[in-house]
Amino acid sequence: MEKILVSSRGVNLYYDSARVLKDITFDVMEKQVTALIGPSGCGKSSFLRCINRMNDFIPSARVEGEILVGGSNIYAGGVDVIALRRNVGMVFQKPNPFPMSIYDNVAYGPRLHGVKQKDRLDETVKQSLVGAALWDEVKDKLKTPGTGLSGGQQQRLCIARAIATEPEILLMDEPTSALDPMATARIEELVRELKKRYTVVIVTHNMQQAARISDRTAFFLMGDLVEYDATPKMFTSPEDKRTEDYITGRFG
């Protein structure tokens, strides 16, 4: 039984007067992987940052329309952005562990949200690292700096950090673009694993990656949502000519 978790209703995003997203309307299903694809500058990353309101930091950015998460509009007045971001985790393009220990990196979020007891923190850190498939590699060096890990390990640390606040949704902004093929394969494997517990929205410029790991795919082009459908259908028989052109590599 598919259930809608995130619902975008006529979302427009402006930077000053430039309209970067145009009337984006679609639904993200719970416990699925939804891939956002499209050529660079198409607005897919900007849309991702609308879902946890990270665009708030860009003074010139303005959002119109509604995004419903679990049924309530996150752009309504009086929404608690901090609680929203706790519920919507994010993993960035470049691995960005804090310059602190592996343990403190993962415990950062829970500590912010008031978890103080040592044994509860220990357990959360362990579960998150296990969930990010990093536990076995780092369990003996939790006190060493997170910045000392390899690129792929760093990214999995960032995933562990993101799931440590027990979010429902995980946003991933081209999480493998800075990694080598081996590390990429491990992250992809991990994403398939993660969807058992989380709803994942992933931005990728790599179409094979979208095809391999996602259940549904949304194709963005110059701020428009061109097509949105089940991934197998998108990659075998897209409705729109532009989708087909992009997928078959005729542009982008």
Partner 1 sequence: MKDRLPGIVVKGMSSAGIFIMIFILYFLFREGIPVLKAVTLKDLFFGDLWYPAENPPVLGMFPLIVGTLAVTAASSLLALPFSLLIAVFVSEVAPRSVRELLKPVLELLGFFPSIVLGFIGMVVLAPWLQETFDMLSGLNLLNASVLLGVLTVPIVSSLAEEALSAVPGDLRDASYALGATRFETTRKVVVPSALPSILSASLLGVMRALGETMVVLMAAGGAAIIPLSIFDPVRPLTSTIAAEMGETPVGSPHYAALFFGGIVLLLMTLGINLLSAWIEKKGKLVQ
Which residues of this protein are in contact with partner 1, per CB under 8 A? 52, 54, 57, 59, 82-86, 89-90, 92, 94, 96, 98-100, 108-109, 112-113, 158, 161-162, 165
Of the pair 83, 130, the CB lying nearest partner 1 is at 83
Nearest-approach distance from CB 156 to partner 1, in angstroms: 14
Q: Which residues contact 27 (CB under 8 A, 6 or more apart)?
A: 4, 6, 7, 8
Nearest-approach distance from CB 209 to partner 1, in angstroms: 21
* CA atoms within 13 A of residue 164's CA, in its CB half-sphere: 31
Nearest-approach distance from CB 58 to partner 1, in angstroms: 11
Q: Which two tokens stand for residue 136?
A: 């076995």
Is there a contact between 77 and 54 (Cβ–Cβ < 8 Å)?
Answer: no
Of the pair 43, 109, the CB lying nearest partner 1 is at 109
Please state, in angstroms and rounded to a whole number, the distance separating the CA atoms of residues 153 and 122. 20
Nearest-approach distance from CB 65 to partner 1, in angstroms: 22
Of the pair 3, 113, the CB lying nearest partner 1 is at 113
Of the pair 165, 243, the CB lying nearest partner 1 is at 165
Q: Is 67 helix (H, G, I), strand (E, B) or coil?
A: strand
Of the pair 152, 167, the CB lying nearest partner 1 is at 167
Is there a contact between 87 and 31 (Cβ–Cβ < 8 Å)?
Answer: no
Nearest-approach distance from CB 5 to partner 1, in angstroms: 18
Question: What residues does 63 pair with on adjacent strands?
Answer: 13
Question: What residues does 9 pair with on adjacent strands?
Answer: 66
Q: Is 211 helix (H, G, I), strand (E, B) or coil?
A: helix
